[in-house]
Amino acid sequence: MSNRSTDWLAQARHDLEHARSSVEAGHHDWSCFACHQAAEKAVKALFLHLGGDAWGHGISRLLKDLQHRMEVPPGLMEAAKRLDKHYIPTRYPNGFDTGSPRDYYTAGEAEQAIQDAEALYHLCEQSIR
């Protein structure tokens, strides 16, 4: 089986671009979700590069599993935990008492999510290249 880590990393980069475009368009909920996706795919790319396989969508759990193979800076674990909070509520209205996700997500949250996803992406990119 071929190692497709670079394909996963390329998609992670594309998802980050989508996140930036979404925040510029005022779609803060989608920007946060795209950031989660970018970070998840980048971490999965790193797992593939290291000869492993990763399942699930929790970035912090993936990083915890990755710590068996390499050191993960504590700040990145905190970034992963922030991003994990964007996996479901960014997409489903029943994540809130009333309204829809677009009513709750802010530009500040989207900018923080972009910073978090970029930091995780760069760790993975540096480890793969």
Tens-place pLDDT, residues 66-93 = 988 899 998 999 999 999 999 999 999 9
Maximum CA extent, the chain: 47
Report pLDDT for 129. 84
Q: What is the pLDDT of residue 1?
A: 55
44 and 66 Cβ atoms separated by less than 8 Å: no
Domain count within the chain? 1
What pLDDT digit, counting tens, does each position of 55-64 carry?
A: 899 999 999 9
Residue 53: the pLDDT is 84
Query: What is the model's pLDDT at position 9?
Result: 98
Average pLDDT over residues 97-116: 97
Q: What is the CATH number of the domain that holds 50?
A: 1.20.120.330
**pTM > 0.85: yes or no:** yes
Give the Cβ contact number of residue 125 at 10 Å: 17
Domain range for 62: 5-128
CA distance linking residue 127 with residue 84, whole number of Å: 22
Q: What average pLDDT does the structure give for the chain?
A: 95
- Output the pLDDT for position 3: 87
Residue given tokens 């964007």 in the structure block: 86
Instruction: Average the pLDDT over 2-8 and give the result.
Output: 91
Separation of alpha carbons 129 and 117, rounded Å:
18
Helices (H), 1-129: 5-24, 28-49, 59-66, 74-84, 107-128
What is the band of 54 on the pLDDT scale with cuts at 50, 70, 90? confident
Residue 46 is predicted with a pLDDT of: 96
